[in-house]
């Protein structure tokens, strides 16, 4: 895993504790419609009705319920027992007929048998874990020809990398998330190429100025916030070569058949 601190066990303990702490505050959240990133993820993997799908890092179960609605046979896992309990409670309340299972497990190691799933996916998970171990585990549990797809944060914009490395945590700029996570680096994308047959990077938006506004300006002035969203959207439409500098990426990968 690139740019991590401490042992794997200590990282897992910090990650679980961080997400346990926030789980209670979101267990009552009502389900929402898929956002544009989730819509892009579901489009990228195609029809999943009747397929066996493993979701990694399910959190409080928002994407899990979307997978249930799409007709998949869902198993969802999360390292945080608090998040697992929140997801189980929300699914029981809002999808009472579902047979989906939500289990406490890490993305790097599970008890699932080899070649159990048709699809392995997740939102904001790979940049929290040991990338090599998580990808090898995904390949192990995928059936031949199976699909892996992840919504992730990307470190391919040098301006955003500079801001994260030199500004976040200083000058009153908060650090969101955990201390061990990191946006995906070029070396992380190479790890996907090492373990999968075919890897495609999909840029669902151009999320650049909006991130600076959220982190640095703290969205204090609404006219600026509206302008930066419009500017980002204009770049996405008219300058497609810059899309790969977005903070958001979907990594779509196939296991060899």
Domain architecture of the chain: domains with CATH: 8-206+243-254 (3.40.50.150)
pLDDT band at 15 (very low <50, low <70, confident <90, very high): confident
Residue 19: CB atoms within 10 A of its CB come to 22
pLDDT band at 7 (very low <50, low <70, confident <90, very high): low
Predicted pLDDT of residue 6: 54
Q: Which residue, chain included where needed, has tokens 């579901």?
A: 42
Q: Burial, 199: exposed, middle or buried (Cβ in 10 Å; 0-12, 13-18, 19+)?
A: middle
Higher pLDDT, 65 or 175: 65
Whole-angstrom distance, CA of residue 58 vs CA of residue 121: 10
Predicted pLDDT of residue 4: 40
Work out the angle at residue 215's Cα, subtended by the Cα atoms of residues 211 and 218, and round it to the nearest 5 degrees: 110
Predicted pLDDT of residue 49: 98
Task: Provide the CA 151 distance to its chain's centre, in angstroms.
Answer: 4
Integer CA distances (angstroms), 155 to 42, 97, 256, in order:
23, 40, 27
Segment 228-237 shows an average pLDDT of 96
Residue 59: CB atoms within 10 A of its CB come to 23
64, 76 contact by CB (below 8 A): yes
Whole-angstrom distance, CA of residue 38 vs CA of residue 70: 12
3-state helix, strand, coil in the chain (%, to 5): 45, 20, 35
Predicted pLDDT of residue 10: 80
Predicted pLDDT of residue 142: 98
Query: In the chain, which residue ranges form alpha helices assigned H by DSSP?
Result: 8-26, 36-45, 62-69, 81-94, 131-141, 158-166, 186-195, 209-212, 222-238
Q: pTM of the prediction?
A: 0.90
Residue 115: CB atoms within 10 A of its CB come to 14
Segment 8-36 shows an average pLDDT of 82
What is the 8-class DSSP label of residue 31? Answer: P
In this predicted model, what pLDDT tens digit does every residue of 208-231 receive, in sequence order? 999 888 877 765 667 788 899 999
* Whether the predicted pLDDT of 27 surpasses 80: yes
Q: At what angle do helices 36-45 and 62-69 cross, to 10 degrees?
A: 40
The residues facing 202 across adjacent strands are: 250
């Amino acid at each position: 895993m690139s740019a991590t601190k401490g042992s794997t066990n200590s990282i897992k303990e910090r990650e679980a504790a961080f997400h346990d702490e926030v789980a209670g505050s979101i267990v009552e959240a009502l389900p929402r419609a898929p956002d544009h990133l989730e819509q892009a993820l579901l489009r990228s993997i195609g029809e999943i009705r009747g397929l066996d799908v493993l979701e990694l890092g399910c959190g409080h179960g928002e994407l899990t319920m979307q997978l249930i609605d799409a007709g998949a046979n869902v198993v969802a896992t999360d390292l945080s027992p608090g998040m697992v309990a929140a997801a189980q409670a929300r699914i029981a309340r809002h999808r009472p007929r579902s047979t989906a299972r939500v289990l406490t497990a890490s993305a790097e190691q599970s008890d699932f048998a080899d070649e159990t799933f048709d699809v392995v996916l997740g939102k904001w998970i790979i940049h929290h874990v040991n990338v090599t171990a998580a990808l090898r585990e995904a390949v192990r549990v995928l059936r031949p020809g199976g699909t892996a797809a992840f919504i992730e944060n990307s470190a391919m914009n040098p301006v955003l990398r500079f801001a994260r490395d030199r500004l976040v945590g200083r000058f009153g700029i908060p650090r969101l998330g955990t201390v061990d996570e990191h946006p995906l680096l070029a070396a992380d994308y190479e790890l996907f190429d090492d373990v999968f047959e075919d890897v495609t990077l999909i840029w669902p938006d151009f999320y650049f100025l909006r991130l600076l506004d959220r982190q640095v300006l703290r969205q204090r002035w609404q006219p600026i916030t509206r302008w930066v969203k419009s500017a980002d959207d204009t770049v996405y439409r008219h300058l497609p070569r810059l899309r790969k500098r977005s903070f958001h990426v979907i990594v779509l990968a196939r296991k060899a058949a």
